[in-house]
């Protein structure tokens, strides 16, 4: 893989924002992250604005509803599914108004299919992940719905040179290790083979888009993501361990992009640009890769979503990520 949708010294966000004013969140994103803006998510708006409900609204012929235990498949679309869809449509309408004249790459985020399978329950109460046939149906529905969503975003953002699709998969490590709890919470669901996980993930990647998989949990399955054909991986740099570096090096050599979270995602003292950029620069040096590729293959972000931050801090964190990314380009050892 050669070339990336963004230029050197790009920064972006993971996805979620505080508050309920989506138009303002869009203005913040485009103002602070002109190199790689994205469609912000505002889970504080309630049911249907959460990661699982928002993505479930994209599924084709698999309606969902909310039960006391969480999201569950339903016989027919109801109030909860409509609320989730309405949130997304309003967000896309606001985006369409805000992007007039914009040209460049644009990122969207959806809950990844394996995390979705570990979260949404079947009619009889167990999780989708417990039933291989249900997982297959979910993957097919997800792929169709995501492709339609990408096409809609492309139409609404006509200046987008490329759509970057981020699949949020915090649950994938648990899927692979067999630690996802059953619906009752008293047991654990069987582990999914790495080859199966990669094959299924590959089947949902939308054609014509650059795909990033975000995993803010420890034990990121780099090999699975590489085998699935993902264009890159997004992670919290503070969770990386030296034992991960061989897998990271193989992924870098394969051309995968790395979105490294280097700025705290909740209100705290923000590091200056050089300190924030340091984990990326030092990792690159330890792996022995030419410094000239750092600023294009690595994109800097906050460590995770910003939903738990204050609005002022969220804006400042995006600005800090942008300034840190410039350090990657201007590093004197390039």
- Mean pLDDT for the chain? 95
User: Residue 11: which pLDDT band, with cuts at 50, 70 and 90?
Assistant: very high
Distance of alpha carbon 297 from alpha carbon 244, whole angstroms: 18
Considering its fold, how many domains does the chain have in total?
1
- Using DSSP, how many helices (H) and how many strands (E) does the chain show? 12, 8
Is 168 part of a structural domain of the chain?
A: yes
Residue 203 pLDDT greater than 70, yes or no:
yes
Is 12 part of a structural domain of the chain?
A: no
Is 52 part of a structural domain of the chain?
A: yes
Exposed / middle / buried, residue 152 (Cβ in 10 Å: 0-12, 13-18, 19+): middle
Distance of alpha carbon 102 from alpha carbon 36, whole angstroms: 11
- Cβ proximity of 92 and 156 under 8 Å: yes
Is 182 part of a structural domain of the chain?
A: yes
Backbone φ/ψ region at 19: left (φ over 0), alpha (ψ -120 to 50), beta: left
DSSP assigned state of 291: G
Tens-digit pLDDT profile for residues 144-198: 999 999 999 999 999 999 999 999 999 999 999 999 999 888 899 999 999 999 9
Q: Whole-model pTM? A: 0.96
Rg (alpha carbons) of the chain, rounded to whole number: 19
Tens-digit pLDDT profile for residues 264-319: 999 999 999 999 999 999 999 999 999 889 999 999 999 999 999 999 999 999 99
Token pair belonging to 297 = 């293959």
Is 283 part of a structural domain of the chain?
A: no
Is 101 part of a structural domain of the chain?
A: yes
Exposed / middle / buried, residue 44 (Cβ in 10 Å: 0-12, 13-18, 19+): middle
In terms of residue numbers, what domain contains 97?
A: 46-210+220-230
Is 195 part of a structural domain of the chain?
A: yes
Length of the chain: 334
Is 41 part of a structural domain of the chain?
A: no
């Amino acid at each position: 893989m050669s070339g990336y949708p963004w230029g050197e010294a790009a920064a972006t966000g993971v996805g979620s924002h505080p508050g309920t004013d989506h138009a303002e969140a869009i203005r913040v994103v485009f103002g602070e992250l002109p190199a790689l803006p994205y469609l912000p998510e505002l889970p504080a708006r309630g049911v249907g604005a959460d990661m699982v409900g928002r993505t479930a609204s994209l599924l084709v012929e698999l309606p969902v509803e909310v039960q006391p235990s969480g999201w569950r498949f339903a016989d027919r679309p109801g109030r909860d599914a409509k609320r989730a869809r309405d949130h997304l449509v309003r967000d896309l309408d606001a985006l369409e108004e805000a992007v007039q004249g914009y040209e460049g790459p644009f990122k969207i985020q959806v809950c990844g299919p394996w995390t979705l399978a570990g979260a949404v329950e079947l009619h009889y109460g167990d999780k989708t992940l417990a039933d291989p046939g249900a997982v297959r149906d979910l993957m097919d529905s997800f792929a169709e719905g995501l492709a339609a969503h990408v096409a809609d975003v492309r139409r609404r953002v006509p200046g987008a040179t490329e759509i970057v699709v981020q699949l949020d998969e915090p649950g994938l490590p648990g899927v692979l290790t067999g630690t996802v709890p059953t619906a009752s919470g008293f047991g654990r669901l069987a582990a999914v083979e790495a080859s199966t996980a990669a094959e299924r993930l590959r089947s949902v990647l939308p054609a014509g888009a650059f795909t990033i998989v975000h995993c803010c949990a420890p034990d990121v399955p780099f090999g699975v993501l590489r085998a699935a054909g993902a264009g890159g991986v997004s992670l919290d740099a503070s969770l990386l361990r030296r034992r991960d570096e061989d897998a990271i090096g193989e992924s870098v050599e394969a051309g995968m992009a790395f979105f490294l979270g280097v700025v705290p995602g909740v209100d705290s003292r923000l590091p200056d640009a050089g300190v924030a950029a340091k984990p990326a620069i030092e990792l690159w040096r330890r792996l022995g890769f030419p410094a000239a590729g750092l600023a294009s293959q690595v994109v800097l972000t906050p460590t995770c979503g910003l939903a738990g931050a204050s609005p002022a801090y969220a804006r400042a964190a995006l600005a800090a990520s942008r300034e840190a990314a410039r350090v990657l380009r201007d590093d004197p050892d390039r």
